[in-house]
Amino acid sequence: MAFWAGGSPSIVDYFPSEDFYRCGYCKNELGSRSNGMWAHSMTVQDYQDLIDRGWRRSGKYVYKPVMNQTCCPQYTIRCRPLQFQPSKSHKKVLKKMLKFLAKGEIPKGSCKDEPMDSTVDDAVAGDFALINKLDIQCDLKTLSDDLKESLESEGKNSKKEEPHELLQSQDFAGEKLGSGEPSHSVKVHTVPKPGKGADLSKPPCRKAKEIRKERRRLKLLQQNPAGGQDGFQAQGQPPSLFPAKANSNQPKALEDLIFESLPENASHKLEVRVVRSSPPSSQFKATLLESYQVYKRYQMVIHKNSPDTPTESQFTRFLCTSPLEAETPPNGPDCGYGSFHQQYWLDGKIIAVGVIDILPNCVSSVYLYYDPDYSFLSLGVYSALREIAFTRQLHEKTSQLSYYYMGFYIHSCPKMKYKGQYRPSDLLCPETYVWVPIEQCLPSLENSKYCRFNQDPEAVDEDRSTEPDRLQVFHKRAIMPYGVYKKHQKDPSEEAAVLQYASLVGQKCSERMLLLRH
């Protein structure tokens, strides 16, 4: 059919909320409520549109909190990386990492004042029992060959290997895609601390040295405008996006802070590699066991899990399996769209993994886990800053990809409020689905857990379901509009569930996605 002829469609089973369950934030035994769907497959554009309506995925389970009923309302939050400036606490974390890499220096005291998880456990995220149960009920295999035959007969593009093969070369490039530390030949320009400027009590050769370093840096960039295979692409930024600093009073760019040059005899080497997790690339498969062991230790030490949980199978379903279809359009990022693991390698071993989705308009952070032995490096904050820098890098080729989604902001949960510290950022209005600067939302949240952020009382959801009969249904080997399907159904609860689904996903997605009816 024309609405998905370019590739595989999104195929979902919808599960309306029936009752309340235990909240993973405030621990209320019967406080949390959400609607969900099991996504057998999903296009990146559909998922982009869904998260812009307050949905979020955990494995293949995609859920949306019932905002005006749940005990801890969860507001989708996004950061604007192109305008992002690191705060003093962010700079402190980056300097701490640089000192550790350069000299092996380990900070004294605890780091409890710095949030460690860039995406602290979501209420549904840790519910392995629910995910496993749905995985068994809704496995794509249970659809037999009927669905596959129907999709192929409608013009489904069955070339599945192209994204996988394309990414093999990307994986082995490593630093080009994943942003390893700059090679020692690249000297990153450094300037005096903001507000200090030139110190006349020091020899004038300091200024000349800075000029020489800048000339060397520009010469290297002219020789390799794309940033090269050895470094972070954002080092070769177009002047219009991240202009060179005109004077020493301007703050350093995020990239300058992250990729400050290290001495040749540095104590440690850090590399960040991005590998496709779904479908799994060869590099992902080769490192899966090591990655799982890091996650297992993280759960045991940080979240006090028993040694026998989670199993490798649960880990795979939760953090490796994804419904997102890999897409590699020519105008997209070099790595393509879909689900990835951003692996942090220290001296040849994995110490942290950020699970991310790369979508048409954003990088969406799904989860972070790390080796507890390196908690002193504040890896949650560090990884969030790296993901913001990575978004800026991807934006250079794909201009519409310009946001960093951090999951849910929960004002009533102290350990989740830190996400608001990455400024500028916006919260999603739960009624009209428009983005509102967080500064405008906070006063309302101080007075009420649930808030409509859009101040225009006449504003409505522009993508609300207005023609539910156009919703696409897959039933008994046939794809049909809901208007045709409902003529053969007499169960009133069936209609209520379908209409609720349509209202939650919006008109656009309801016409593109296939809703399974059994």
pLDDT (tens digit per residue) in 448-480: 999 999 999 999 999 999 999 999 999 998 999
The secondary structure of residue 463, as a DSSP letter, is T
> How does residue 335 score in pLDDT terms, banded at 50, 70 and 90?
very high
384 found inside a domain = yes
Distance CA 407, CA 57 (A): 10
CA-wise closest residue to 65 among 20, 29, 27, 28: 20
Distance CA 345, CA 31 (A): 40
Q: What is the predicted pLDDT for the residue at 210?
A: 58
Q: Is the pLDDT of residue 38 over 90?
A: yes
Contact 228, 296 (CB under 8 A): no
Contact 465, 506 (CB under 8 A): yes
238 found inside a domain = no
What does the pLDDT look like over 220-244, one tens digit per residue? Answer: 555 444 433 333 333 333 334 555 4
386 found inside a domain = yes
- Between 114-128, 254-268, 418-432, the lowest mean confidence (pLDDT) is in 114-128
Q: What is the predicted pLDDT for the residue at 310?
A: 84
- Mean predicted lDDT score pLDDT of the chain: 81
Total domain count for the chain? 1
317 found inside a domain = yes
Q: What is the predicted pLDDT for the residue at 173?
A: 34
For 224, other C-beta atoms within 10 Å of its C-beta total 14
Residue keyed to tokens 């045709």: 484
Q: What is the predicted pLDDT for the residue at 130?
A: 55
Query: In the predicted model, what is the mean pLDDT of residues 74-84?
Result: 98
Q: Is the pLDDT of residue 298 over 60?
A: yes
Q: What is the predicted pLDDT for the residue at 220?
A: 53
Distance CA 52, CA 361 (A): 10
111 found inside a domain = yes
Q: What is the predicted pLDDT for the residue at 156?
A: 46
More confident residue, 111 or 102: 102
- Straight-line distance from the first to the last Cα atom of the chain, in angstroms, rounded to the nearest whole number: 21
Q: Is the pLDDT of residue 182 over 80?
A: no
Distance CA 255, CA 257 (A): 5
Q: Each residue of 127-158: b (16+ CB within 10 Å) or e?
A: bbebbbebbeebeeeebeeebeebbeeeebee
CA-wise closest residue to 33 among 125, 128, 124, 130: 124
**Residue 339 CA to its chain's centroid (Å):** 9
512 found inside a domain = no
Tokens standing for residue 129: 């029992």
Query: In the predicted model, what is the mean pLDDT of residues 481-486?
Result: 96
Query: In the predicted model, what is the mean pLDDT of residues 360-376?
Result: 97
Give whole-number Cα distances, 246 to 81, 179, 188, 211, in Å.
Answer: 21, 26, 15, 12
3 found inside a domain = no
Percent of the chain predicted with pLDDT > 90? 64
Q: What is the predicted pLDDT for the residue at 233?
A: 33
Q: Is the pLDDT of residue 381 over 60?
A: yes
Q: What is the predicted pLDDT for the residue at 149?
A: 59
378 found inside a domain = yes
CA-wise closest residue to 46 among 391, 514, 461: 514
Q: Is the pLDDT of residue 106 over 90?
A: yes
> How does residue 219 score in pLDDT terms, banded at 50, 70 and 90?
low
What does the pLDDT look like over 122-180, one tens digit per residue? Answer: 444 444 445 555 655 555 444 544 555 566 555 444 444 433 333 322 233 333 334 33
Residue 42 structural domain: 11-140+262-462
- Phi and psi dihedrals of 302, rounded to 5? -80, -40
Q: What is the predicted pLDDT for the residue at 175?
A: 38
Query: In the predicted model, what is the mean pLDDT of residues 392-415?
Result: 95
Q: What is the predicted pLDDT for the residue at 170?
A: 26
Contact 488, 481 (CB under 8 A): no
Sheet arrangement for strand 362-370:
270-278, 338-346, 349-358, 362-370, 403-409, 75-79, 425-428, 435-437
Distance CA 401, CA 395 (A): 5
- Between 71-85, 220-234, 369-383, the lowest mean confidence (pLDDT) is in 220-234
Half-sphere exposure of 9 (CA within 13 A, CB side): 27
